[in-house]
Amino acid sequence: MNKLAVIALGGNALQRDNQRGTIEEQEKNTFRTLENLVFLLKDGYDLVITHGNGPQVGDLLQRNDAGEQVYGIPQMPLDICVAGTQGEIGYMIERILRNALTKHGINKNVVSLISQVVVDRKGKSFRELVKRVGRTYSEDVARKLEKEKKWVFKEEIKSGGGFRRVVPSPQPIDILNSRIIKDLVSAGNIVLAAGGGGIPVYIDAKGNYRPVEAVIDKDMASALLAVTIQADEFYILTDVPYVYLNYKKPDQQIAEFISRDEALRYLKMGMFSEGSMAPKMKAAIYFVEHGGSSSVITEATKLENKKYGSRITMDKKR
C-alpha cells in the first residue's frame, strides 16, 4: 500500500507578497508549486491537498463591500465567502495539477471537495476575536457598521491606522465527509479538501448544521484532516526550507530534526511568531501526538528526494 500524505499549501503557493494577485500570477505560482508534488507521487505517495485562501477571501470581502456601497448588492456572510474561494481556488489547483501530471506522464484523477468543518462554538478560542478580515475603515464608518451589522472592529495600530473587522478562530473538531475523502484517495485519486481551513459550521440543539462568522486556522484544520483519514505524513509547505531557531537573529540556526517535547519547549520559549511559524508548529505537534509518523515543514521546491525540511516526530528521528 502507498503511503498517504496530507499536503498543506501555504499562501505563497498561489500569491506572493509583492504581487497584485492577478489570475495570471496565481496560475504561474500554482503550477510551480504543484509540479514539485510530482516527486512525492513518483515516490509512491497518495495525496490529499489543502490550501490557504487569505488573500482571496480578503479580496472577495472587499468586492462585497464595494458592491453594497455602489450598487446596493447585499453582502454575503463570511462562510459563503470561504465557500466561494474554496470553489475558485479548488478549480484552479485541480486544472493546473492535471496539466502538471500530464507533463510528467502521470495518469491520476484530481477531485475537489467543498469542505465544511465543525468548530467548537463553546471553547475559549471562539470567544477570542483574533482574526482580522476585510478592508480597513475609518472610525466613523466602523462604528456605523458595528451598529448596523453587529460586527466587531479593532484599531490597526501597526499598519497605517484605521479599523478592521475581527472574528474568532475557533478550534476545528470534525471534518465533514472525511470518510469520502479517505475512500477517494484510497482509490488512487488526488483529493483537494478543507481549503482555507474549511467552511466553519456548528451543530445546534436540533442537530442542524449552522454557519459561523469565523476563520479556522488552515494548518490546524489540515492536521485534523490528516489525523482523521489516518495519513502517514503531514507536510506544511511555506516560504522557508526549514524551521529556524532565533529566526533572522545573529545566532539563527536550522532545526532539522525536532522531537515533540523540543517543539513544545520552543513554543513556550516564544521562539516562533504567532503570525507565522507558531500555528504551523502547533499543527505539526497535533499530528504526531495523534498517531502520525512525522510532520514536515519546508518549501515546495525542496520536496525532491526529501533532502530538505524540518521533521517533527514524537521522538527525534533522523
Taking the CB of residue 139, how many other CB atoms lie within 10 A of it? 12
Q: Say which residue the cell 529566526 belongs to.
A: 247
280 is catalytic: yes
Beta strands in 204-292 (DSSP E): 209-211, 233-238, 243-245, 253-255, 257-259
CA distances, 164 to each of 12, 115, 153, 204, 311 (Å): 23, 27, 5, 29, 36
Determine which one of 52, 54, 280, 302 is catalytic.
280
149 is a catalytic site residue: no
Confirm whether 316 is a catalytic residue. no
Q: Which of 182, 218, 282, 302 is catalytic?
A: 218
State the SS3 of 24-57.
HHHHHHHHHHHHCCHHHHHCCEEEEEEECCHHHH
3 is catalytic: no
**Contact between residue 117 and residue 172 where contact means Cβ atoms under 8 Å apart:** yes
CA–CA distance, 111 with 177 (Å, rounded to integer):
13
- Cα–Cα dist 217/262, whole Å: 23
Active-site residue identified among 53, 54, 131, 302: 131
Name residue 308's amino acid: Y
The three-state secondary structure class of 241 is coil
The residue among 171, 174, 82, 164 whose CA lies nearest residue 126 is 171
According to DSSP, the β-strands at 253-255 and 243-245 are antiparallel
* CA 318 to centroid of chain Cα atoms: 27
Q: Is there a catalytic annotation at residue 144?
A: no
Amino acid at position 129, single letter: L
Which residue among 3, 11, 21, 67 is the active-site one? 11
Helix or strand or coil: residue 1?
Answer: coil
Q: Where are the alpha helices (DSSP H) in 234-276?
A: 260-268
Return the C-alpha cell found at 59: 479580496
Give catalytic residues, as residue numbers: 11-12, 131, 218, 280
